[in-house]
Structure 1
Amino acid sequence: MAQRHLDPTDPLAGPAPTGDTLAGYLRAQATEFLRALRLHRETGSGANGSEGSVEAARALRRSARRISASLHTFQPLLDTDWCEGMRPELAWVSGTLAMEHAYTSRLERLLNALHRLSGSDRAAGTHADAAAGARGGLAAGARTDAAAGTRADVAEGTRADVAAGSRAAGAARVGAAAPRDAGLRTPPSPAQERSNLTVGAAKAGALLDRQLNLARTRAHSTALQALGSSRFHAIADKVAVLASEVPLTPAAATADLRPLATAAKDRLADAVTALPLVTAGHPYNAAALIHGLSPDTVPHPQDAPWHQVRLLLRLHRYAREAVSGPKGNAVVDLRLLSAGQALNRHRDASEAAAAAAQAARTPRIAPATAYALGVLHADQRHEVEAARFAFQQAWQKEAEAVSTR
């Protein structure tokens, strides 16, 4: 039987941190928030914000997340009314600032996948060129295919593509089936399938570019309005007070932070236990493809528990940071880092698949466009499976490391 030893890299195993440690961590994060806010105002925040303003917005989100997470984990040591008032406001700031980046990354991810699936050798980052060529094809074909590309046909055809794609591995899933409404009575040749996918990918890229760029522009405007609102100014004032005065309870001076940090770790472990890790331990198990392109527009029901684990993992990581002190003396746990990266990829692929499904529900699109979007949806759901497998591997290493300490 392996002997259990204290892990010197685990902040929960060191000297007992108290409320003063938590206060120092919160003051440091509040200072980072104010510094990022000043940088954002200095670098400009217009429609074409500079790289400095983008980085400042990321820093604002990072510090807001850490403050909010600490208020959640260590709330018994802080003023209750103050915590209840600050947490939703910080979540609003973080969520509002994250939307523009999310839409930009989603579009880039989907265009990269379209170039890869259609066999294009062009760099995926040339969004302007891809969109310009695709919009021409979309305009030329949309009128002639309007009657054939009804919403029912789109849903039926893309579900067939997704189901066929889930049964094939690797590159075979790309051309496993043709749309049902394409009028082909004999199986198409690989060359025909590749041609259909290439033509459809151009139109699909134009459609996604239009929809996601519109959403990104709206998110940018919303973020600018939020940063100039009285609500945000009130939050900034409270954070400025937090940078010098932390509302600790009288008992926090001698309280140990480790039990609360351990509770955050236990909540994460319980949530991971509820996940189907045995299934996720087999790559391409097709569990993430069940129900495929559902007509329901709500987020994929299978993804919710994984998203919850991602949030709990973040709370656990931030609790480790808080226990280690304001200077961040905790050694980065590579296993937790790998697990978090896998869950981030899971979230990104899941949202990209949902965006492809939403685009496929656009009325009166051409069958070739619907076919490309169905293949794209299946590809992103396979990416969801791959991310689950990567998380399972990282988490098993974490469990083995804990059992041998």
Structure 2
Amino acid sequence: MPDAKDGPKPETYRESERKFRIHGLFALPDLAGAGPVSGVEERGTYDLTAVYHDTGDLRLAREGITLRRREGGSDAGWHLKLPVGGLGSGVRDELRLPLEAGEVGDVPQELRELVTAITRTAPLVAVATLQTKRVSRVLLTADGRELAELTDDDVSVVDGDRVVVKFHELELEDLEARPGELDESVERLLAAGAVPGEFASKAVRALGPMASAPSDIPRLPAVGPKDSAAVLVRAFIAEQARKLRENDLGVRRDAEDAVHQVRVAARRLRSGLKVFRPLLDREWADGLRAELKWLAGEFSAARDREVLRERLDESVKHLPHDVEPLAARSLIDRHLGKEADDGRERALAALRSDRYVALHDALVDAVNAPRLTKSAEKACADVLPPLVAKAWKRLDRDVKGLQLDGPDEEWHEARKAAKQVRYACEAVAPALGKPAKRLAKQVERVTEHLGEHMDASVAAHTLQGFAAGSHVGGRTGFALGLLYCEERAAMDLARHEFLDLWPEVADPKHRRWLRPT
């Protein structure tokens, strides 16, 4: 996939609005005096033509996303609207590009790439054309503060020269309103006959029932202990696939922690497929696991360098001033900054690859038609506990082999085993409830220490490599040596704290709900 970073970056606007359906005889009530509203100022009448784009099966609309090219009005251009905080929140981020970024039917790559995880290989095409007569009004306070824009939209859905359907709606969009300041205005609109609409875009109303159909990765109902394990497995894959999809968008928009969350979702999915292996077709599950391992690996450099840089930046603050901490900081930032940038480019390259798109296609198939064994037909309460018990058995074996002065790798393997138990408990918790959640919490206590051990080990190894590099002066090398000693001390402390805590976590009372494999 071509690199969109060479094109213009979309401008982002946060919008919060409420929609109302109104009938042909609706008369706008006087809103002056409604809370802090002092007056209503008309800002003009506009003729708008918007061409909405989506896949043939409306994948964007089914996710609450709208993509349009609109002519007319003050914000003519390409608009990609993304829900914030859930579909019903009324809050969306609107990403804008100018009209010249693409003609109708030719969606700008900068926007097309953002929704790749949803559209995948399906082309984006024009699916609806709306012509709107808009009257814009602004609600003002006595001191001229603009509380909200109230737009009265008379909408026609057209097919060539033919009007297919018409509807009329109001939109009340927050501008500078504080919480509660628009409540009385809303009450007056309702009293006048406006009907609060579900938060649906004009395109969804125009496209009909298909646009409101569930996503191809649906939000599935709750699972109980008497349900089949197949129901739980499908719900688990759907939840993690959705998280992967949602954080994909965050990575592309450079959102905080999105890289980390993509890797977490990939690892949880991979771990779950391993735990549920007796319930799944082996070849199919292992194929998915291999692709998820690839994805997590492509994101590792970006995330690991991000964590390491934050850790070492904090450690440098505590160095004595007479050992040249600034020189050490400069060397660390120079190396890790470049590695972090390279890691992010590697992650973005993975997102733009055909292999990644194929993985999302495979996950959609996995949610809707998982390949299961006959064991998956049995009840969750019967099938799932032994699977968690098997993961616990591996962890217990790994911990018994740990020595305070043992090699780092053995401690890293114990960390992986502990995370698998934790992920397994969290995966079955929707069906098995509190016992699984309690064991997950217990294991989380030790994974924190093992995670600290892992971070300190990586930091120590990295510092050792820096100190061995060419052109490292004696004072800088000494500073790096002090930091190395601190990381080795942190490893030693994490090992002691883990071994002190383990007997409590391993108390059989936490595992009475498990059955032997």
Equivalent in 363, 366, 385 of residue 239 of structure 1: 363
Q: 1:24: which partner in 2?
A: 235
Q: 1:221: which partner in 2?
A: 345
Q: CA deviation at 1:262?
A: 0.7
In structure 1, distance between residues paired with 2:422 and 2:354: 32
1:257 is paired with a residue whose SS is: helix
Contact 1:339 1:391 in 2 (8 A): yes
In structure 2, distance between residues paired with 1:34 and 1:226: 14
In structure 1, distance between residues paired with 2:460 and 2:264: 26
Contact 1:335 1:395 in 2 (8 A): no
Is the radius of gyration larger for structure 1 or structure 2? 2
Alignment of 1:109 with 2:109, yes or no, is no
- Distance change (3 Å), C-alpha of 1:339 and 1:15: farther
Contact 2:412 2:454 in 1 (8 A): yes
Alignment of 1:98 with 2:222, yes or no, is no
Q: 1:331: which partner in 2?
A: 437
Contact 1:226 1:232 in 2 (8 A): yes
In structure 1, distance between residues paired with 2:438 and 2:511: 19
Alignment of 1:398 with 2:489, yes or no, is no
Q: 2:289: which partner in 1?
A: 87
Contact 1:33 1:64 in 2 (8 A): yes
Structure 1 length as normaliser, TM-score? 0.65
Q: 1:353: which partner in 2?
A: 460
- Distance change (3 Å), C-alpha of 1:235 and 1:403: closer
CA RMSD of aligned residues (A): 2.4
Q: 2:397: which partner in 1?
A: 270
Q: CA deviation at 1:273?
A: 0.3
- 1:244-284 CA-to-partner distances (Å, cap 9, x unmatched) read 222111332127122222111100000000002xx4xxxxx
- Distance change (3 Å), C-alpha of 1:337 and 1:17: farther
Equivalent in 351, 362, 383 of residue 469 of structure 2: 362
Equivalent in 240, 245, 253 of residue 34 of structure 1: 245
Write out aligned runs for 1:3-402 (5 A).
Answer: 18-41=229-252, 44=253, 49-51=254-256, 54-55=257-258, 57-118=259-320, 195=322, 197=323, 199=324, 201-254=325-378, 256-276=383-403, 279=404, 287=405, 302-325=407-430, 330-333=436-439, 334-400=441-507, 402=509
Contact 2:279 2:373 in 1 (8 A): yes
Q: Answer with 92-101 or 385-394: which moved more.
A: 92-101
- Distance change (3 Å), C-alpha of 1:241 and 1:404: closer
Q: 1:132: which partner in 2?
A: none
Contact 2:234 2:367 in 1 (8 A): no
Contact 1:343 1:387 in 2 (8 A): yes
Q: CA deviation at 1:33?
A: 2.2
In structure 2, distance between residues paired with 1:404 and 1:328: 13
Residue identity in the other structure for 2:410:
P
Contact 1:21 1:323 in 2 (8 A): yes
In structure 1, distance between residues paired with 2:420 and 2:234: 17
Residue identity in the other structure for 1:73:
V
Contact 1:65 1:94 in 2 (8 A): yes
Structure whose residues are more often helix by fraction: 1
Residue identity in the other structure for 2:437:
V
Contact 1:27 1:246 in 2 (8 A): no
- Distance change (3 Å), C-alpha of 1:31 and 1:328: farther
Residue identity in the other structure for 1:379:
E
Contact 1:16 1:257 in 2 (8 A): no
Q: 1:137: which partner in 2?
A: none
Residue identity in the other structure for 1:35:
E
In structure 2, distance between residues paired with 1:243 and 1:39: 22
- 1:318-348 CA-to-partner distances (Å, cap 9, x unmatched) read 1112222379764244431210111111111
Q: 1:130: which partner in 2?
A: none
In structure 1, distance between residues paired with 2:432 and 2:355: 30
- Distance change (3 Å), C-alpha of 1:25 and 1:251: same
- 1:181-211 CA-to-partner distances (Å, cap 9, x unmatched) read xxxxxxxxxxxxxx2x2x2x22221111111
Aligned length: 283
Structure whose residues are more often strand by fraction: 2
- 1:58-106 CA-to-partner distances (Å, cap 9, x unmatched) read 3322221111001112212111121121112101212222321211221
In structure 2, distance between residues paired with 1:68 and 1:214: 29
2:470 is paired with a residue whose SS is: coil
Structure 2 stretches of 5 or more lacking a match? 1-224, 513-517
Q: CA deviation at 1:40?
A: 4.3
Contact 2:278 2:375 in 1 (8 A): no
Residue identity in the other structure for 2:233:
L
In structure 2, distance between residues paired with 1:202 and 1:39: 33
In structure 2, distance between residues paired with 1:16 and 1:100: 40
- Distance change (3 Å), C-alpha of 1:400 and 1:264: closer
- Distance change (3 Å), C-alpha of 1:359 and 1:389: same
In structure 1, distance between residues paired with 2:425 and 2:490: 30
Q: CA deviation at 1:39?
A: 4.7
Contact 2:228 2:377 in 1 (8 A): no
